[in-house]
């Protein structure tokens, strides 16, 4: 068996500021945890800065992540298409503390709009059940 030559892979210059992240590998469909390690949501999409031209070629700056987007995307994953931007909730990238197996935020999840449905169910449904406003003894 003869070894086939492996083509040279393109080399990327290290970013001047920050870290090079593969969005599909490191961000999409990852769980987001707040500062108390409580699950908040999962990342459905990202918002990046606009780039003139073709990205990093020719010394142009690499795109910068502006925000993580989360929302009701199950229907679009099954039937195709994209959810309207107005249906996605934004988590600013400045709130991300660490990127790993999960994304860790340095703020409480209660302060984010992404948890409004859970707060609504807690306050309007669970809270009206007798004994629903306190932990079981």
Which pLDDT tens digit goes with each residue over 49-76?
876 555 455 566 677 889 999 888 877 8
pLDDT tens per residue across span 121-137: 888 888 888 876 666 66
40 burial (CB, 10 Å; 0-12 / 13-18 / 19+) is buried
What domains can be seen in the chain, in order of their start residue?
23-128 (2.30.30.240)
pLDDT tens per residue across span 84-112: 888 888 999 999 999 999 999 999 988 88
Contact status, residue 45 vs residue 89, Cβ threshold 8 Å: no
């Amino acid at each position: 068996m003869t070894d086939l030559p492996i083509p040279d892979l393109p080399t990327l210059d290290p970013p001047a500021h920050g870290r090079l992240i593969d969005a599909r590998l490191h961000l999409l469909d990852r769980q987001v945890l707040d500062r108390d390690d409580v699950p908040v949501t999962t990342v459905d999409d990202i918002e990046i800065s606009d780039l003139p031209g073709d990205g990093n070629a020719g010394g142009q700056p690499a795109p910068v992540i502006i925000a993580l987007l989360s929302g009701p995307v199950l229907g679009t994953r099954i039937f195709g298409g994209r959810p309207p931007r107005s249906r996605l909730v934004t988590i600013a990238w400045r709130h991300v503390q660490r990127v790993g197996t999960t994304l860790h935020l340095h703020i409480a999840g209660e302060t984010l709009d992404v948890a409004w449905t859970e707060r609504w169910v807690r306050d309007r449904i669970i809270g009206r059940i007798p004994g629903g406003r306190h932990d079981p003894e």
